[in-house]
């Protein structure tokens, strides 16, 4: 982070290649911001991690299904499909930010953000779970969704224990 990031009018960070919203951004950038913020004592970066997730959720979450679309607002390319993998990336990224905040000295200062992150992860899982079971999806997407799934239907015990340790 040598230079300040380029932002759109909503203050969403833009990557250097385009101004599209991609759901995998949530797995890559906000966890870095949160971790670096904790490491350096910069609570503005921790807030920004949560803020970026909130902004991406605003544009990528489809209200009817509760699922996140893959890519929106691309000038040459859009994919409004509900990729299992993409929803897994988003939920896993939120969980990484949650874990970073939860296990930091700033945990109490960010209780509202932690609560929202938990709600947003659960929101993705509530939308995905029936579809995963019904279609028996066996993919990295379902693994990522499983990695970030805190619910009672966890099929990977080691991952459930990790979630319990975070909370």
Q: Which residues contact 77 (CB under 8 A, 6 or more apart)?
A: 20, 71
Distance between CA atoms of residues 38 and 44, nearest Å: 10
CATH number assigned to the domain covering 21-166:
1.50.10.10
pLDDT tens across 98-129, in order?
A: 999 999 999 999 999 999 999 999 888 888 77
Distance between CA atoms of residues 66 and 86, nearest Å: 13
Distance between CA atoms of residues 30 and 59, nearest Å: 16
Total-model pTM: 0.72
Tokens at residue 80, please? 């409004």
Residue 140: pLDDT band with limits 50, 70, 90: very low
Domain range summary for the chain, segments of one domain joined by +: 21-166
Tokens at residue 72, please? 């929106």
């Amino acid at each position: 982070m040598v230079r300040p990031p380029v932002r759109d009018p909503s203050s969403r960070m833009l990557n250097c290649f385009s101004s599209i919203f991609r759901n995998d951004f949530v797995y890559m950038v906000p966890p870095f911001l949160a971790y670096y913020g904790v490491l350096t004592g910069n609570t503005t970066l921790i807030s920004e991690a949560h803020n970026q997730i909130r902004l991406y959720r605003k544009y990528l979450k489809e209200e009817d299904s509760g699922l996140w679309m893959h890519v929106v607002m691309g000038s040459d390319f859009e994919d409004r499909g509900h990729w299992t993998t993409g929803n897994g990336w988003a939920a896993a990224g939120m969980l990484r930010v949650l874990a970073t905040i939860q296990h930091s000295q700033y945990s109490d200062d960010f209780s509202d953000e932690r609560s929202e992150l938990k709600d947003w992860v659960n929101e993705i899982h509530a939308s995905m779970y029936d579809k995963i079971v019904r279609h028996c999806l066996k993919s990295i997407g379902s693994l990522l969704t499983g990695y970030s799934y805190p619910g009672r239907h966890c099929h990977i015990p080691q991952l459930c224990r990790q979630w319990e340790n975070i909370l």
